[in-house]
Amino acid sequence: MTRFFQQLFLQLHFWSQAQTLYKIHSPFVFQLALNCLENTQIPADLIAIEKLRQRWMRSKTQFYFEDLGTGKPRWITIGKCAQQMSIPLFYGHFLFHLIQYLKPRTILELGTNLGISTLYCAFAAPKANITTVEGDYILTTIAKANFQKMNVDKRIQIIHSDFTTFLKQNRSSFDFIFLDGHHDGKATYRYALQLFTFLTPQGVLLIDDIHWSCAMFKTFHRLSQKAQVAIRFDRMGLLFPKRAQAKQTFILRPTLPALVKKWLKVKRTTDKLRS
């Protein structure tokens, strides 16, 4: 089955199974859904980040991308990286409000790219210290410049390294970890088990693109069995491995009014920035 049909099948499966917050009996998950999925506010910080991403999307500059995940380096434009590999406003909005709600003091990101998702983390948690890891040198350099431009560089440590080397050398713990790179099921499972050990007692692991392929979906399902609380969204998966509460798994979607309102706001914002 091609990746397109895998993703189509997984999205149809998700929307057929997902529930809104009004069918959730866990107070903790209800509040999380209320503050993150139902929130349609687009603060000025998010617009500034999307403006930066839109500017990079227009870049025709090519560079030799060291794709450590696939092991197949290739020439690619910065614009294509911004368009296809950086988190768009619709999902950056969710990431922003999730971090704003959870209030982590220490954040780890695996997969910096241009630093767009890192900026969502930085503006959502203005007092947090952030470590972000990127395997490509050019992207590391661009991300550093973006952090300086947005005046958050003093709170962000960017490390040029492959994930495996970083995980072997890391001795720090984190409240929030965002895994967004190397979308291979087996590799993601291996990384996630190591990342579990770096989390604080109430720490959370967020995995992007869990519907990238059937292998990624199966990996998230396996990981959810090892976590106390697992929440599956339409693109991302949230895992609380150590949270002190009964073991539960949720499949959550926003209510239709919130989904439509957010989509319209995001579309108006992006259309305005492109004009």
Question: What domains lie within the chain, and their CATH numbers?
Answer: 6-43+86-274 (3.40.50.150)
Asked whether the predicted pLDDT for residue 70 surpasses 70, the reply is no
| 3-state DSSP assignment of residue 71 | coil
Query: Who's near 160: CB < 8 A, 6+ residues apart?
Result: 134, 135, 136, 137, 140
Tokens, residue 71: 């092991």
Report CA 69 to chain centroid distance, whole Å.
17
Give the per-residue pLDDT at 244.
Answer: 77
pLDDT digits (tens, 9 = 90+) for 5-41: 999 999 999 999 999 999 999 999 999 999 999 999 9
Residue 27: in which H helix or E strand, if any? Answer: helix 27-36
Which amino acid is it at 243?
R
**Averaged pLDDT for residues 99-120:** 97
Give tens-digit pLDDT for 157-181: 999 999 999 999 999 999 999 999 8
- CA 270/CA 190 separation, integer angstroms: 36
Instruction: List, as own/partner pairs, every contact residues 246-249 make where C-beta atoms lie below 8 angstroms and the sequence separation is at least 24, other chains included.
Output: 248/26, 248/29, 249/224
Q: Answer whether residue 229 shows pLDDT above 80.
A: yes
